[in-house]
Amino acid sequence: MTETNNIAILETTLRALAESKKYVTLRDILTTIHAADIAAIFERLQEEDLPLLFRLLPKELAAETFVEMQQDTQEALIRTFSDRELKQIVGELYVDDAVDIIEEMPANVVRRILEMADPEMRRSINELLRFPEDSAGSIMTTEYVALRPSVTVQQAIGYIRKVGPDKETINSCYVLSPDRKLIGVVSIRRLLLSDDEATIEQIMDENINSVSTLTDQEEVALQFSRYNYTALPVVDQEHRMVGIVTFDDAMDVMEEEATEDMQIMAAMTPTDKTYLHSDVLHLFLQRVPWLLILMVSATFTGMIITGFESALAAQAALVAFIPMLMGTGGNSASQSSVTVIRGLSLGELDFRDVGAILWKEIRISLLCGLALGVVGFVKILLVDKLLLGNSDITIGVTLTVSITLLLTVVAAKIIGGILPLAAKKVGLDPAVMASPFITTIVDALSLLVYFGVATCVLRL
C-alpha cells in the first residue's frame, strides 16, 4: 500500500463508496489499511466528509490514524468530537503521542483533551509538557517496562505478559534499583533465550547508554543511528529513570533534522509543517526574510562593481564573466560547506578535525582551481573568442579570468570548509553557514579578487 499511486487508487475507491453510502464495505476496506495510509487519504478529503468517515474506524485504528494526521486536521476533528468520542481516542493514545498532539493545539482544545484523559494519563502528560521543546523529555514516553534486579526470568516474563498491553514497547526492559536508578537493560530476546531460573541481575546488560531529559533530540537521534537501538532510556539529573524514547520517534527526528538542515541551507526559516498543509502566508514568511537579507547584503557586491566602473568601461569584456566567476565561487564553497555540515550533523566530524579539513580542502581546492583555470582558459579562447567571435576578449582578459578562477576556488573552498566548524564552535547551527550566507561572502570576495587580478594583469 505504500506506492503513492496505490494510495491514489484507494482514495478513488473510498470516495466512490462514501458517495454511494456503502459504509459497511467502506469500514471493511479501511480496517485492512495501515493507519498512516488512512491518514494520508483522509487528509485529502473535504473537511465536511471527514468526521463521518473517521467514525467508521474501530477504536484502536481510529486512535492510530488520528496520531498520523496533520495538526490542523486533528484540530478540526476534535472540534466535531463529542466528549465521549474524544475520551475514547485519548484513552487509546500513548502518552508521547498525546503530548505531541497537545503541544501544537490552542489552549481551549488542550483543556478539553486533558479533561477527557484519565487522572494517571493527565499527570504523565502534564509532566512531559514541562520539558523544553526538542528535548529528550519532550519526545519520550513514560510507558516502559521496569524490572527489579532480583526477580527471575520466569517471573519477569509473567510480569511482562500482565503489564505489556499498556507499554509502548516490551522489546527492551529496564532494570531499576529500589530508588528507581537505572542499573541495566534486558532485551525481550535475552529474556526468552535465558534460563527460566536465572535472575534479571545475572543476565542484564549493565553497560547501558542513556540520555538526560534535557538532551537535544538531535543528539538522541544520533545515538539511535550510531548504536542501532530500538529504545533509549531517559534519566533525570539523579540518574533516576523517567522514560524511554523509541526508534520510531528517533526516525521522525532524523527526518525532521535533515529537512531542517536542507531548509536552512536553502535560505529558509525551518518549519515542521508539511508543504501542502502550510498556508501561503506561512510559506511566504518562511522565505521572504532571507531573500530580503540576502538582497540587501548584495549591496556590497554592487559597491565593488561601482568602484571598478571605469575599469569595466575600459575593458568591457570583463563584465560578461562576472556571473560565471561568482557562480563558480558559490558552487565551490557550497560543495565544501555542505560536506562539512553533513559530517557535523552525523557526528563524523567535530572541531578537532579542523586541521585535517583545512589541509584536505587546500589540496582539493588547488586541484579544482587548476582544472577550472586551465579549462576556463582554453574554453574562453576557443568558444567565446574564436567560435562566438567576441573580439573584446584578449589574452590578458582570458588570463585574468583564469587566475581569478584558481584563486576564487581556493578561497571559496577554504571558507566553505572552515566557517561551519567556526559556527559550531560558537554554538550556532552550522547549516546557517551553508549556501546563501557563504555565497554572499564568496560573491564579494570573488569580485575583489577579479578586479584585483585585472588591475595587475591588465594594468588598469
Closest to its own copies by CB, 86 vs 267, is 267
Residue 50 CB partners (closer than 8 Å, separation 6+): 42, 73, 76, 77, 80
Nearer to its own copies, 199 or 390 (CB): 390
- Centre a 10 Å sphere on the Cβ of residue 366 and count the other Cβ atoms it contains: 14
To the nearest whole angstrom, how small is the minimum distance from the Cβ of residue 112 to its own copies?
Answer: 27
Of 107 and 276, which CB lies nearer to its own copies in the complex structure?
Answer: 276
Q: How far apart are CA 76 and CA 50, in angstroms?
A: 9
Chain Cα centroid distance, residue 269:
13
Question: Shortest distance, CB of residue 420 to its own copies, whole angstroms?
Answer: 12
Order of strands across the sheet that contains 172-176: 145-147, 172-176, 182-187
Beta strands 182-187; 211-212: pairing state: unpaired
Closest approach of its own copies to the CB of residue 91, in Å: 18
Calpha distance 35→50 (Å, rounded): 15
Chain centroid to CA 420: 18
Chain-centre distance of CA 242, in angstroms? Answer: 26
> Of the two residues 44 and 79, which places its CB atom closer to its own copies in the complex?
44
**Least Å distance between CB 361 and its own copies?**
9
- Min separation Cβ 82 and its own copies, Å: 29
Cα–Cα distance for residue pair 21/48, rounded to 1 Å = 15
Q: What angle do CA 136, 137, 139 make, to 5 degrees?
A: 65
Q: Which is nearer to its own copies, 202 or 209 (CB)?
A: 209
CB of 109 to its own copies, least distance (A): 24
Across the strands, what pairs with 184? Answer: 175
CA distances from 226 to 129, 220, 229, 414 (A): 28, 10, 8, 29
C-alpha distances out from residue 252 to 22, 30, 246, 259, Å: 36, 25, 10, 10
Tell me the angle at which helices 4-19 and 35-43 cross, rounded to the nearest 10 degrees.
70
Which residue number, 125 or 340, has a Cβ lying nearer to its own copies? Answer: 340
Nearer to its own copies, 21 or 162 (CB): 162
Buried b / exposed e over 83-106, threshold 16 CB at 10 Å, is: eebbbbbbebbbbbbbbbbbeebe
Comparison of 110 and 324: residue with beta carbon closer to its own copies: 324
Burial of 374-387, coded b for 16+ CB within 10 Å and e otherwise, reads eebbebbeeebbee
Closer to its own copies by CB, 135 or 332: give it. 332
Nearer to its own copies, 116 or 250 (CB): 250
State the amino acid at position 198 in one-letter form: A
CB of 165 to its own copies, least distance (A): 6
Q: Hey, what's the cell of 125?
A: 502528560
Q: How far is the CB of 449 from its own copies (least distance, A)?
A: 14
